[in-house]
Structure 1
Amino acid sequence: MSTFLGSVWWMIVSLGVLVTFHEFGHYWVARRNGVKVLRFSIGFGRPLWSRRGRDGTEYVIAALPLGGYVKMLDEREGDVDPAEASQAFNRQSVWRRIAIVAAGPLANLLLCIALLWAMFVIGRPDFLPVLGQVQGIAAEAGLARGDTVLAVGERATPTWSEAAIALTTAAMDRGDLDVRVRTPEGDEATRTLRLASLPADMDERRAVRAIGLVPRSHLLPAIVGSVREDSAAWGVLADGDRITAIDGSPVDSFDAIGPLVQALGEQGGAGMVEVQRDGERLALELTPTLAEVEGRAPFWALGITPDTAQAPTPDALLRHGPLAALPAAVAETGRLASDSLGMIRRLLTGRASAENVSGPITIARYANASANLGAAWFLSFLALLSLSLAIINLLPIPILDGGHLLYYLIELVKGSPLGERAMVAGQYVGLAMLAGLMGLAFYNDILQLVR
């Protein structure tokens, strides 16, 4: 399956699952409270499939799979048979209406816990948080190659994914950050990162690199995958060569080749490149050539690419037994919720870039990528998306669940419902806010594709 088709398919699967649970939350609580549900729709637009249940509800799968809705009997939306008036949503007490509206986000929250439980039971493969390259701010703090990151701040980091998320979040705040590590010698130590010195124009999605850290798992072995024709290495190096040294400096990963080639090119003349080929050790003479690529300054190059088939394989497994997985899932849900709310706060205060707002294109890409990594990673992605859906729906924006809850809280305070004009005005404001948010999300999505 192509990347495009895979992305579309897994986005439809993801949104279908999450929206179904969300709307089922509304439906189930409405029915428990005696409210008649007219339609339960997954998707919008023209129905592709529909069936009427014995309870009178029309169940629909519609053409546009970007949401869904539950339509309840309501006297504000049309004439209601007097015999069914007691089943109308607007006739229910304010507390029952609050329960029905809050049930959707609550269903997504419970689904998040269930998905994380399943993820922990299956076991999510990952990489140990061992540092491969250390430069810049990280080197100044005393971090070194081979250190294992045990905790970032107060957050334990059993895998590199946890460490990367914690470091990225802290980089946005640009404060001092304590990192607890275990050195290659087995000693534990605490290093303090001075994140205030990060550049103001830092790309937050590459914050870990900006700090100066590259994990061991991201370093490819220094094995030649291909040699570009008519390049400096053409006819000298061969596919499968393992480069061990350049001009006397040892090479232990493909990333180390670039800086050594630059130094060799700047000093001028030829240098010796040591390689292992078919069990033999060879010393070959090479002279880097100056390469020009649009969008970057000229640089010295050999004309080789890495062998990506030799990429490191996961060496850690995030897994718990069925009983231990439940508290772990609840704790992880709390951590993800804290991270999500923190990101919203940073966006509102300007401490995080608006480029962090993503739309359906990015969701589709991540859905496909996580599905290709295996069931555990896809469950983890679904859990985060489910939690995000719950949080977004609870924002006090009219037309979202949070906006309706705000209306009902105002009704509790003033003792009577808001006037129709005020509610209509709120709906227009909500539509404008939602349209602006969606526009920003689509803009960021397209910008990422262009980049």
Structure 2
Amino acid sequence: MNPFFGSVFWLLVTLGVLVTFHEFGHFWVARRCGVKVLRFSVGFGKAIWKRVGRGGTEYQIAMIPLGGYVKMLDAREGDVEPQMQGEEFTGKPVWKRIAIVAAGPAFNLIFAVAAFWVMFMIGRPDAVPVVVAAPQSMAAEAGVHNGDRILSIDGHKTTTWSGVTDDLVDALLGRDPLTLHVRGTDGRERDLTLPLDRLPAGQDVGQYLDRLGLSLAPAPPVIGSVMPGKPAALGGMQAGDLVLSVDGQPVANYDDLQKAIREQAPKSPSLAFVVKRDGRQVPLTVIARQESLEGQPSNWVIGVLAPETETAIQRYGPLRAIRESLSTTRDSAAQTFRMIGKMLVGEASTRNLSGVIGIAQVANQSASMGPAWFLNFLGMVSLSLCILNLLPIPLLDGGHLLYYLIELVKGSPVSERTMIAGQYVGLALLFTMMGLAFYNDLHRILLS
């Protein structure tokens, strides 16, 4: 699927699932508390589909898919008929109103735990944390060697590259020295310290990672298998050959090999390979051809496959998956709160915020990596929506909860004037956050 249309499609899937679940939380608890629900809407604006349910609730899907709402019978929005007073929202005890408002974020939290649980039962494929350090980077200066395998970070055992990335991002937010325990290609283990305190303040995590210069080691340019009857087989290439160069262009890893074929074949399909076989260099001539695989645009190929690489699949039984799901939810929530706290005090850059464009891109990428990774993405976004909605900002669920907590303390609702003023403040804050996130998305696209 085209990256643009793929991003749009998976964004709509993501928002459709998470918004529906969030609003269903409000809807379900409102009905249980005896409040009449007039409309359940996924999206804003003009309805593109609607129907009226048995209880008189109007269900609709609207044109703007950036959220949704549950409209309840509310005396603040107009006169309520006497016979309907018992189903009106503001007339309910404050604890019921708190339960109704808190239900949306609570259902997002439940969804996150469930998504992680299913993900761990399916099994999330991941790369083992074998790394390389960019020349003159902070990682290289700290003593990281190409091919080192990270065993633990600050005493926390790690077995996957995504686990390493999560720990690094968390550490970069605090910019404190970080200890790595690694095993080199010679089998010896050693401790290293990344001097993260030398990083300048006010940059986003992406810039910090670039300065750190630590990345997953690419696959070596070794031929895993040769397809019978294809150009490589006809040219005498064998499984296990280590490709040294293509048309005189040195090859350092398997990505370089594919790139060299794509660049050199249009100039001349006859490619001069030099491979290392049984300790000696062997020159080969391979005539590349253009082929279209599985409906994709045609490309230059020679008919080889990469060798199987070591992977770390996180797959557990139902009970262990529940424990891992709760642990992932707790750690991710703690990291999010730390990020918010550091942005509020100026220790972390607001450039770390992402908007709809960023979410769409990550949605497409995670979907292309398989169902387990897409469930991981849905869980993370659902957890973020839970936390965002609990922030004490008027117009968000957290703002309403703040009003109701004040009502509990003072014994009466906050004044209408206070609520109107809060709405203006909430609008200003939300538009500022959305504008900043949108700017960050565009900034990343223009710099990429």
Q: Give the alignment's TM-score, normalised by structure 2.
A: 0.81
Are the aligned partners of 1:274 and 1:281 in contact in 2 as well (CA < 8 Å)? no
Q: Which amino acid aligns with 1:242?
A: V
Quick one: percent identity of the two aligned structures? Answer: 51
CA distance in 1 between partners of 2:308 and 2:8 (Å): 29
The one-letter amino acid of 1:124's match is R
Query: Counterpart of 1:90 in 2: which secondary structure?
Result: coil
User: Using a 3 Å threshold, how does the CA distance of structure 1 residues 13 and 166 change in structure 2: closer, same or farther?
Assistant: same
2:69 alignment counterpart: 69
2:151 paired residue number: 150
Letter of the 2:368 partner, please give it.
N
Rounded Cα–Cα distance in structure 2 between residues aligned with 1:55 and 1:154: 56
Structure 2: 5+ residue runs without aligned partners? Answer: 224-240, 258-271, 284-302
In the TM superposition, residue 314 of structure 1 has moved relative to its aligned partner by 6.4
Partners of 1:96 and 1:203 lie apart in 2 by 41
- 2:24 equivalent to 1:24: yes
Match of residue 421, structure 2, among 405, 425, 434? 425
Equivalent in the alignment of 1:178: 179
Residue 30 of structure 2 corresponds to residue 34 of structure 1 = no
The root-mean-square deviation of aligned C-alpha atoms, in Å, is: 3.0
Change (3 A) 1:386 1:324: same
Instruction: Tell me if 1:193 matches 2:189.
Output: no
1:402 is aligned, of 388, 395, 398, to 398
| Off by >4 Å, runs of 4+ in structure 1 | 185-188, 199-203, 254-257, 277-280, 307-314
Give the superposition deviation at 1:62: 1.0
- The answer as to whether partners of 1:222 and 1:242 remain within 8 angstroms in 2 is yes
Q: 1:340 corresponds to which residue?
A: 336
What is the deviation of 1:174?
1.7
Answer yes or no: is the 8 Å Cα contact 2:203–2:349 preserved in 1.
no
Q: Does 1:105 align with 2:105?
A: yes
Q: For residues 406 and 420 of structure 1, what CA distance do their matches in structure 2 show?
A: 15
What is the CA-CA distance between 1:432 and the residue it aligns to? Answer: 0.8
Secondary structure of the residue aligned to 2:90 is: helix
**For the residues of structure 1 that align with 2:400 and 2:92, how far apart are their CA atoms?**
14
Cα gap change, 1:308/1:282 in structure 2, threshold over 3 Å: closer, same or farther? closer
User: Aligned partners of 2:154 and 2:312: how far apart in 1?
Assistant: 21
Match in the other structure for 2:233: none
Offset at residue 168 of structure 1 (A)? 2.5
Report the secondary structure of 1:54's partner residue: coil
Q: Distance in 2 between matches of 1:6 and 1:383?
A: 20
Alpha-carbon distance change, 137 to 145 in structure 1, aligned in 2, over 3 angstroms? same
Q: Does 1:362 align with 2:358?
A: yes
- Give the Cα separation in 1 of the matches to 2:212 and 2:79: 63
Deviates more, 1:180-189 or 1:163-172: 180-189
Letter in 2 for 1:381: F
Q: Higher mean Cα deviation, 323-332 or 136-145? A: 136-145
TM-superposition CA deviations, 1:99-125 (whole Å, max 9, x none): 110000000000000000111011111
Distance 1:149 1:439 in 2: 39
2:231 counterpart residue number? none
Classify 1:416/1:166 alpha carbon distance in 2 versus 1 (closer, same or farther; 3 Å).
same
In structure 2, what is the Cα distance between the partners aligned to 1:91 and 1:170?
48
Q: How does 1:37-436 map to 2 (within 5 A)?
A: 37-133=37-133, 135=135, 136-199=137-200, 204-216=205-217, 218=218, 221=221, 242-243=243-244, 252-253=252-253, 275-276=274-275, 281=281, 310=306, 315-436=311-432
Amino acid at match of 2:149: T
Aligned residues of 2:221 and 2:251 also touching (Cα < 8 A): no
Are the equivalent residues in 1 in contact too, given 2:49–2:62 (CA < 8 A)?
A: yes
**Corresponding pairs, count:** 394
- Per-residue deviation, 1:55: 1.4
1:64-101 Cα offsets, whole Å, 9 max, x none, are 11110000111111111111101111001111111110
- How far has the Cα of 1:312 moved from its partner? 7.5
User: What is the distance in 2 between the residues matched to 1:212 and 1:363?
Assistant: 25
Q: Distance in 1 between matches of 2:155 and 2:23?
A: 37
TM-score, reference length from structure 1: 0.80
User: Which stretch shows the higher mean deviation, 111-120 or 315-324?
Assistant: 315-324
- Per-residue CA deviation, residues 106-162 of structure 1 (Å, 9 max, x unaligned), is 000000000001110111111000123365333343333332212222543221011
CA 1:197/1:222 → structure 2, altered by over 3 Å: closer, same or farther? farther
SS in 2 for 1:63: strand
Gaps of 5+ in 1: 224-239, 258-272, 284-306
